[in-house]
Each structure stands twice: as structure tokens, then as C-alpha cells.
Structure 1
Amino acid sequence: MRRDLQGAALTLLVKEHRETKVRVRIDRGASFRIIAPSMLHCVMSHPSTPSQPPVRLVMRFLLEFMIGMCPLLARRHGSDIVRGILFLTIAQANRPRFAEIVRYDTPTTALRAISVNALAQSIGLPYETARRHVLALTRAGICVREPQGIVVPNSVITSPVFDDFSIELHALFLRMMRRLKAVGFDFDDFGPATPEPLPPDQDSVRPDAAVRHVVIDFVLRMSECGRVAHENDMVRSLVFTAIMSANAAPYTLDNRAWKYASLAQSPPESERLPISVSNLAKLICMPYETTRRYVEQMIADKDIVRVKGQGVINPQVSPRDALLHQSGTMVMSRFVQLVSDLKRLGFSFETLDMGPHQAAERAARKVG
């Protein structure tokens, strides 16, 4: 069952299969697809997981996608991944998320400025660190300081540089979705596609950009969910996420993908691929020393363990497991919403694994 809700801020409690409760915040004025709790148990069913949602399986592909985004952001922001994430956060905070999702050219008067303090709190950065990055973004002409706070102007959002980034991100997203489909993930379980009519002002509508906008919004919402398990520390969450993603590489695409699909099916440590600190730093485009400090702290906290001569892995049992399971279930809920919103925009999951000519022929046959 799905419902559209609009209006004042609401809190939805989605009950996970082991009494974990997940909070999904709905902002004022936005329209969301709300997925009934029972749906998380039945969507994407597979013979090996008849009663559990495949949270681990989905997370493996999502984490791979998130880590793949790091170099795309970093190389456009002086090789600084934190600054790149800050830029995206500001740009998305300035613009309506779902109310006008098909528009990138939001009128300047409708942009919602965000203060440095609110920005720092939203992604778990120290105020001074956020202020320093905002100052650099402002000096580069990427952000503008308004009386109410910081804004990424339309000239930046519609620039070739940002367009190139969104195109690359979109390609990375499609790759992830194809890989999900390749392991037997069925998007049809989310219900039939019901494309949403485009607004009458066709001149300002870019359907391709609408999909990219939804994807960027999902990236930031997923980042929020990930920080739940890490005291709202964005950098720690990113480092831990990269370790998890690297550890899971051996069984992401092989016949173990569904064997370790649900939260109840944790892969043994012997099957996890360790990653060294130097490779980890390169993977997330972060300075080696910063990465090393976070790794050492997580080892001290027993969140990860060192495999002698090979690197680090996240253990099969961790003191943070309850929070990690809560975070994973939140991400799953967001992913269900993402697929639903993409279907509203007419995104075709049927043609994911087709070439452009095959997809065009299929679309033409449907019209005919």
C-alpha cells in the first residue's frame, strides 16, 4: 500500500522485522511516497530470503555507488571530498526536493538559504570546518552569501561543470541499477510505473535532469541515514562505508549475493576482503593521515578489526550492530521511495540492460 502525504512535518515510524523503529522525516510542503511497513518484507522477494527484506544485498550496491561518486565530487572541488559533499548539501537545501522535482532552474526568489551552523549540524561537521569550506566555495564563486545564509546560484547549477557531474553521476547510478538487476533484483515488485504528467511550462522542464535531481537527493538522504550509526559524523560514516563496501566485493555479484541478502544473514569474516589504509584513502579521495586516524579510532572502538598484513574488515559481530541495522533499514526505506519516485517520472526499469537502440525500439512499439 502506498499513500501520498502533503503538509506539515510528520514522522513516520516504519517497523523493521526485529522491532527496530526507523524515523523518516517528511518536510513541510513536500510530497512523498510512503511505503507501508509490511511492504519492506515483501518487496524484492527471492527464494533464498522468503520473509526478510534483502537489506544487505541492496546496501552492497548502494555503498558501491556512493563510493564511486567520491572521485566525481573530489576532482571538481580541489580533490577535497568533504568540500564536494558540502557543495551538494547546500545546493539541495536551497531547492525544493519533490514539490518541483522536474525543475533545476528554481527561481532565485524561491531559493532557501542555509546558515553555516545549520549546514555543519546537518552533516555532522565542526562549525569551524564547515565555515572554512564555505569560505573557499564562496571565494571560488560556487556559493553566494545572502542575508539569510548560503546559496548555490542557478548559474552554477546550470553550468556545464555541474551538468557534466550530474551526467557522470547518472551513468554511475545506471550501472548500479543494472548490476542489481543482474543478480535477480526485481524492480517490478514496487508496482506498475505511473509516470507523473509534466507541468504545462514545458520550456523549463528537463525530464533527464529530473531523474538526476532525484538521484542526488537520494544520495544526500542516504548519507543522513548512514550517519545515524556514527554519532552524525559524516567523515567517520564515509570511512566505515568504504570499508564495508571493499569487504563485500567478493560476494556482491556471485552466487552468494542472495545467500547474504538480509540483515539476519551476516557473511563470515573469512569471506570479507580486507582493505589497507592507503587503498582506503585513495578510494574515498581523503588524505592518508586523516583516514588513518579514523581507522585507528574505529579499531579502538571495536567497530573494525585489523587482519595482519592485509588491512581491516568490519567484524561479523560489532557493538554497533543495532545502530547499523537501523541505518540499513532506513536506507532500504529510502531506496523503496527512490524507485517509486523514478517510476512517477517515467524512468524505465525494463530497458536498464538494453542498449540505446533496443530501448528506443521498445518504446516505439509501446507507442504503436
Structure 2
Amino acid sequence: MASHPEVYTIGRISTEFFLRGFEVIGQVHDDILGGMILMTMLGEALGNAGAPAAIGIRELARRLDIPFETVRRQVHKLVRSRACRAEDGGICLAPSFRRSTRTNAMLRKIHLEAVRMLDGLRRIRIGHYKPPGSSATSRTLSKEQAVVVAASIRLLLAALKALRGFFKGDLMSGLVFTAIRAANTKHITNTAPGANKDLLPDADRRPVSMMAISNSMRLPYETVRRHAAKLIRQGMCRRAGRDGLVVPTATLRGMTFEAGTVVQLVFDFMQELRTSGMRV
């Protein structure tokens, strides 16, 4: 997929979706792993019309590709916080968490960002999805919205898994890198995503400050500073004077495998929507 003619355009459009989605996952719980576990169960619940079945800890560990003991400890925290409850065979979401106004708002945010991504892809002739007209806000997701959100959750979790692999297990560095990369090209992504099929030259990349990344990702400034410093040492990004940080074109040019993986993830997501009966 790295040879796809729109590989870099798809990357710019989808990176914005991933970043906004990662922000939502980070807001679900005060720990990113806790957010990933809760999102896994939310995705399962959206695809189950009846009462969602309990998911075993071993199955969660398999899906997230995270050690069993790490997941087990986090699950116990979630049960103590009453976001989940233990049942025979595993755990499931607490009804109060699943039906809360906050959870509903987060799911709607994911739907909104997925629709924006699909519309951006349509504008570069990737797919045919047209955003639905505005309608009155409902307390619950429509059937089609639930399909989009469930598929989006699976896409986001798959992207987090891939990101962790790209950065040798250091997910936080991967998240900071993604935030810098997206901010550098946001002015193009939001206005003319298909204007340049190649990687943008460094002169067209707008630096972003560590404080802006901290605010955008809702991460402590010191966490962002520490991981940004690591990325600079590794040559993954560089300082642009006093203006902030930039991921240079040369770095992205060397990430052909990663670029191809992102394209495949996006195409798999679109195929899942088509299989459900949507015109995408």
C-alpha cells in the first residue's frame, strides 16, 4: 500500500482522525490502557443489540496485544472505579458508564471525526461517502451511526497497536509524534487535502509548540517535553527555532512501511462499512 498514489494524502487526512480519536480514548479514563479497555468493550456493546456479553481478561489481552498481567491489573482498577463490573467469564461495562451523558458525547465525537475523515477521502476520490444532513440531536446513536462508531473504535485500537509497534513499544512517544506531525500540516488538511499528493516540503510545515501539543492531547507538559526530547535525539523531529517542533519530510520519507500500514488500516475500515451495507 506504500505505492498507492494517494498514500501521503490519505496519511494526512487519517492522521487528523487518529489524533482526535486518541484524544477521546485518553479522556475515557485517567490511564491510556484503561481507555483502550473501555473502548474495546464499548465497541463490543455497540455491535450487540442485546445485553453485551462479558469479555475475558485473556481475550482483552489478545485483542490489545498487551501482556495478560498488565491487563488484569488495569481491569481490577476499572472494576474498583465502577466503570466495569465483574461477571462470570470476565467483565462488562457498568450500565451507568455505558449510558452516561459523557460516554454518549465521546461516541458522538468519534462519529463526527469519522465522518470528517470519510468526507476528506471522498474529496480526493477515495470512496463515495457523503455526510448526512444535520438532524436533531438524539440521546442514542442511530443504527448507521453505531456501525460507524463501532468500526471507528476498531480502527483506532488497531492504529494504537500499530503505533506502539512503530515506536518499539513506546506508545506515548508515538502519540506525541503523531500530534506534532498532524499539527505541522493541519492548515493543508483542513482546507485542501488533495492539493499535494507528495509529502509537504519542510518550508510548508508549520511548527507547533510543546504547550500546544500538551493542550491538544490533554497530556502533562512535562510528559510532552520528555517524549519530544527523545524524538529529537532519535532524529524523528527537530526544533524550528523558537517556534516549536517539526517532523521533517526526510523522516516521513523513510517511513514507507508505516505509511502503507496506515493506508491498509483505512481501507479495511471502509471495507467493514461497505460489508455492513453502507455506501462508502
TM-score (norm 2): 0.79
Equivalent residue letter for 1:67: L
SS in 1 for 2:239: strand
SS in 1 for 2:65: helix
Q: Which one is further off, 229-238 or 275-284?
A: 229-238
Asked if structure 2 preserves the Cα contact closer than 8 Å seen for 1:113 and 1:146, the reply is no
Q: Which has the higher helix share?
A: 2
Asked if structure 1 preserves the Cα contact closer than 8 Å seen for 2:29 and 2:35, the reply is yes
The match for 1:122 among 57, 65, 71 is: 65
Equivalent residue letter for 2:168: E
SS in 2 for 1:266: coil
SS in 1 for 2:55: coil
Counterpart-to-counterpart distance in 2, 1:107 and 1:87: 13
Percent of pairs with identical residues: 21
Q: Which one is further off, 307-316 or 130-139?
A: 130-139
Q: CA distance change for structure 1 residues 168 and 245 in 2, over 3 Å: closer, same or farther?
A: same
What are the superposed Cα offsets for residues 101-126 of structure 1, whole Å, 9 maximum, x if unpaired?
A: 84254652xx33124993797259x9
The match for 1:220 among 131, 134, 157 is: 157
- Number of the residue aligned with 2:189: 252
Q: CA distance change for structure 1 residues 283 and 141 in 2, over 3 Å: closer, same or farther?
A: same
Cα distance, 1:158 vs structure 2: 4.3
Equivalent residue letter for 1:345: S
Name structure 2 gaps, 5 residues minimum: 130-141
Q: CA RMSD in A?
A: 3.4
TM-score (norm 1): 0.62
Counterpart-to-counterpart distance in 2, 1:176 and 1:283: 19
Equivalent residue letter for 1:63: T
Q: Structure with the greater relative contact order (CA < 8 A, sep ≥ 6): 1 or 2?
A: 2
The match for 2:224 among 288, 291, 316 is: 291
Does residue 80 of structure 2 align to residue 139 of structure 1? Answer: yes
Cα distance, 1:70 vs structure 2: 4.3
- Number of the residue aligned with 1:340: 271
- Number of the residue aligned with 2:207: 274
Equivalent residue letter for 1:286: L
Q: Which has the higher strand share?
A: 1
Equivalent residue letter for 1:246: A
Asked if structure 2 preserves the Cα contact closer than 8 Å seen for 1:90 and 1:151, the reply is no
Cα distance, 1:187 vs structure 2: 0.7
- Number of the residue aligned with 2:48: 103
What are the superposed Cα offsets for residues 296-344 of structure 1, whole Å, 9 maximum, x if unpaired?
A: 01101111101111111111213x754x321221121121121122122
SS in 2 for 1:152: strand
SS in 1 for 2:245: strand
Equivalent pairs counted in the alignment come to: 267
- Number of the residue aligned with 1:159: 99
- Number of the residue aligned with 1:87: 38
